[in-house]
């Protein structure tokens, strides 16, 4: 069957989908069939009916992949208050019984490879449910939701947002008024904490909080189990985040009569403690004096065994303490925080990354008794990179340049250091978040805005770059600096290079690899000339 070959699907799957199409057609339309030596041939009436069917398809009719079905089923089993059966899972995912059974088997198989020790069980009386330690379940669902919201598929998110509030017992926590209220409480939370939580982290927390609260309520815990969980949260009760969570719980009850118990309040405090901060007035607190001492030893050792030099050490230490406080709570309670810049950091700043990783292994990891993954190391690399001493370059023309970056204070400093290499001395006047920039836009004299966001709107010239500068970003900066204009040719370098290489190299992955090597060679020979005198090989 040509359809089977063209789509790369088995004949059985093609016939399965054909059956589904026939089920969706109006009753008066003859079924579509495959005829011997003819294949599938639609009549004019069938074509018209199929076109009407296609026109009626919207985002709610989105066909989920197996991975998305598994994510939806997992969330349903984890948070609903009703008994979960095969039939309900079939209705939820709009697939056959066999497909649901296969998906459940895949969920069980995936759970065996996870670190959370969560198990999927089924009984006649209880239906399908997860059996595990309550905190393990919270960690597992948090990790799952991180994957869902970090790599969003709009079609799947539409299904999620439509179906989840309809799950038994879930509607109150997903009501639009409650979601809006929680967003409005962010400023009050930050005032109570004396800290500014990273924009992306707090946005993620507001999305996942209802799911996490419901996954806890989904469990039937004995009094002894509740006491054990409260004991594990004892460390949290001493922190200011717990008081802020209590205030939020009072506000929720006064506004919606939504009561949170001690474990739910502690859960909110745990999230507040675990997420990265952009500002923290408590970094000099004696509660974290030992943490600061460990970080001081880490920085001393980093400088001792490398050729790097650091400016503004006090600022660096303040930022490292602020980051380490959240890191240690994440490690204690198993809360995942992936760094979207890790692969770029490892590629563009490999010398610095490796140095930080090696030094951290026998200083921070040993003293704190934790294991830091590459995402953790990348965050430290970003903070260290933002504090490295740079060689001042000359520029003929003085320019007023402002950077706009919402990715956190560490990334802001790293972006600043990168741009310093390619722009005139003292031309970068400040680094803003988008919100900060718009608050002072009217009083600024601006020659150029360099932004990591494609959503920034202003009357000034804007260059959009990546948080970790790519070859194309550097070209754009050089063009503007040399010619006071932005040119699109830099954007086209890599596509043109790949098209040229594809004439001589057949495999696409080989073309990408060779293109990477050529760009790296150009960077090393041309753009890194400013770093040779300092013994630095990373692109700053």
How far lies 515's CA from each of 404, 434, 487, 496, 506, in Å?
A: 30, 34, 21, 10, 13
Say if 396 falls within a structural domain.
no
Say if 286 falls within a structural domain.
yes
Sequential pLDDT tens for the chain (540 residues): 678 777 777 788 788 888 888 888 888 899 999 888 788 889 999 999 988 888 776 645 677 889 999 999 999 999 999 999 999 999 999 888 999 999 999 999 999 998 889 999 999 999 999 999 888 999 999 999 998 988 778 889 989 999 999 999 899 999 999 989 988 888 888 888 888 888 888 888 889 999 999 999 999 888 888 898 889 888 888 888 999 999 999 999 999 999 999 999 999 999 988 888 777 776 666 767 889 999 999 999 998 878 788 888 898 999 999 899 889 988 988 887 778 888 889 888 888 999 999 999 999 999 999 999 999 999 999 999 888 876 554 444 557 899 999 988 889 999 999 888 888 778 889 999 988 898 888 788 888 889 998 888 887 888 889 999 887 788 777 766 665 544 444 456 677 788 888 888 888 888 888 888 887 776 555 544 444 444 444 544
| 462 and 317, same domain (yes or no) | no
Say if 395 falls within a structural domain.
no
Among residues 278, 295, 323, which one ends one of the domains? 278
| 291 and 227, same domain (yes or no) | no
Say if 213 falls within a structural domain.
yes
Whether 192 contacts 247, CB under 8 Å: yes
Q: Are strands 119-123 and 127-131 parallel, antiparallel or unpaired?
A: antiparallel
pLDDT of residue 283: 67
Kindly tell me the number of DSSP H helices and DSSP E strands found in the chain: 26, 10
Per the structure, the complete domain to which residue 322 belongs is given by: 281-385
- Using CA atoms, how far apart are residues 491 and 475, in angstroms rounded to an integer? 8
As a whole number of Å, the CA-based R_g of the chain is 27
Say if 188 falls within a structural domain.
yes
For residue 13, give both structure tokens: 């799957």
| 330 and 353, same domain (yes or no) | yes
| 501 and 439, same domain (yes or no) | yes
| 419 and 359, same domain (yes or no) | no
Residues sharing a CB contact under 8 Å with residue 202, sequence separation 6 or more, in sequence order:
186, 275
DSSP E strand stretches across 384-539: 401-404, 428-432, 448-451, 462-464
Whether 357 contacts 345, CB under 8 Å: no
| 176 and 287, same domain (yes or no) | no
| 272 and 285, same domain (yes or no) | no
What is the DSSP code string of 51-81? HHHHHT--GGGPPPPHHHHHHHHHHHHHH-S
Helix (H, G, I), strand (E, B) or coil at 129: strand
CATH number of the domain bearing residue 416:
3.40.50.2300
| 252 and 124, same domain (yes or no) | yes
The CA-to-CA distance between both ends of the chain, in Å, stands at 56
Q: What share of the chain is helix, strand, coil (3-state, %, to 5)?
A: 65, 5, 30
How far lies 318's CA from each of 211, 291, 325, 383, 531, in Å?
A: 33, 11, 11, 10, 27
Among residues 57, 84, 103, which one ends one of the domains? 57
Provide the residue count of the chain: 540
| 297 and 258, same domain (yes or no) | no
Q: Are strands 401-404 and 428-432 parallel, antiparallel or unpaired?
A: parallel
How far lies 281's CA from each of 143, 218, 319, 374, 384, in Å?
A: 29, 37, 11, 28, 21
Whether 208 contacts 274, CB under 8 Å: no
- Using CA atoms, how far apart are residues 289 and 273, in angstroms rounded to an integer? 17
Backbone angles phi, psi at 351, to 5 degrees: -60, -50
Say if 539 falls within a structural domain.
no
| 268 and 302, same domain (yes or no) | no
Whether 77 contacts 84, CB under 8 Å: yes
For residue 399, give both structure tokens: 């320019």
Among residues 233, 259, 278, which one ends one of the domains? 278
Say if 394 falls within a structural domain.
no
| 141 and 216, same domain (yes or no) | yes
pLDDT of residue 192: 80
| 102 and 116, same domain (yes or no) | yes
pLDDT of residue 396: 46
Helix (H, G, I), strand (E, B) or coil at 448: strand
CATH number of the domain bearing residue 343:
1.10.1790
Say if 393 falls within a structural domain.
no
CB atoms within 10 A of CB 130: 21
Spatial CA neighbour of 169 closest among 72, 100, 252, 258:
258
pLDDT tens-digit series, residues 335-344: 877 788 888 8
* Number of domains the chain contains: 4
């Amino acid at each position: 069957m040509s359809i089977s070959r063209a789509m790369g699907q088995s004949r059985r799957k093609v016939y399965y989908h054909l059956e589904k199409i026939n089920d969706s057609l109006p009753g008066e339309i003859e079924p579509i069939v495959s005829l011997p030596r003819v294949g599938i041939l639609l009549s004019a009436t069938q074509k018209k009916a199929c076109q009407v069917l296609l026109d009626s398809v919207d985002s709610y009719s989105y066909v989920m992949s197996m991975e998305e079905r598994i994510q939806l089923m997992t969330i349903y089993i984890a948070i609903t208050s009703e008994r979960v059966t095969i039939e309900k899972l079939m209705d939820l995912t709009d697939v056959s019984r066999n497909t649901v059974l296969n998906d459940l088997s895949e969920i069980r198989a995936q759970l065996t490879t996870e670190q959370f020790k969560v198990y999927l069980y089924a009984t006649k009386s209880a239906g399908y449910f997860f059996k595990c330690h309550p905190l393990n379940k919270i960690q597992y669902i948090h990790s799952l939701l991180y994957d869902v919201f970090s790599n969003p598929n709009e079609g799947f998110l539409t299904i999620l947002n439509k179906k989840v509030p309809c799950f038994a017992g879930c509607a109150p926590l997903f009501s639009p008024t409650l979601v809006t209220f929680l967003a409005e409480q962010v400023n009050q939370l930050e005032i109570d904490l004396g800290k500014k939580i990273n924009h992306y982290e707090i946005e993620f927390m507001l999305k996942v909080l209802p799911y996490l609260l419901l996954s806890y309520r989904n469990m039937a815990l004995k009094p002894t189990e509740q006491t054990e969980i409260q004991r594990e949260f004892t460390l949290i009760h001493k922190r200011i985040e717990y008081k802020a969570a209590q205030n939020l719980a009072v506000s929720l009850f006064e506004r919606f009569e939504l009561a949170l118990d001690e474990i739910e309040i502690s859960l909110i405090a745990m999230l507040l403690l675990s997420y990265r901060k952009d500002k923290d007035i408590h970094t000099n607190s004696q509660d974290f004096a030992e943490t600061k001492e460990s970080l001081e030893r880490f920085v001393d050792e980093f400088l001792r065994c490398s050729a790097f030099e650091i400016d503004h050490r006090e600022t660096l230490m303040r930022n490292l303490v602020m980051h380490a406080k959240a890191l240690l709570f994440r490690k204690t309670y198993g809360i995942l925080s992936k760094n979207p810049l890790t692969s770029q950091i490892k590629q563009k700043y490999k010398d610095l990354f490796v140095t930080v990783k090696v030094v951290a292994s026998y200083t921070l990891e040993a003293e704190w008794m934790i294991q830091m993954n590459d995402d953790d190391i990348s965050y430290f690399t970003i903070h260290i990179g933002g504090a490295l001493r740079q060689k001042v370059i000359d520029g003929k023309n003085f320019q007023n340049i402002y950077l706009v970056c919402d990715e956190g204070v560490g990334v802001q400093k790293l972006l600043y250091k990168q741009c310093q290499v390619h722009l005139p001395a003292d031309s970068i006047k400040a680094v803003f978040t988008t919100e900060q920039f718009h608050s002072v836009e009217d009083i600024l004299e601006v020659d150029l805005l360099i932004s990591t966001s494609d959503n920034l709107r202003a009357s000034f010239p804007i260059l959009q770059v990546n948080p970790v500068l790519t070859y194309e970003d550097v070209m754009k900066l050089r063009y503007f600096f040399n010619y006071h204009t932005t040119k699109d040719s830099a954007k086209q370098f890599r596509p043109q290079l790949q098209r040229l290489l594809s004439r001589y190299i057949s495999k696409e992955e080989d073309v990408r690899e060779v293109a990477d090597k050529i760009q790296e060679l150009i960077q090393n020979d041309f753009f890194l000339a400013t770093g040779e005198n300092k013994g630095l090989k990373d692109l700053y």
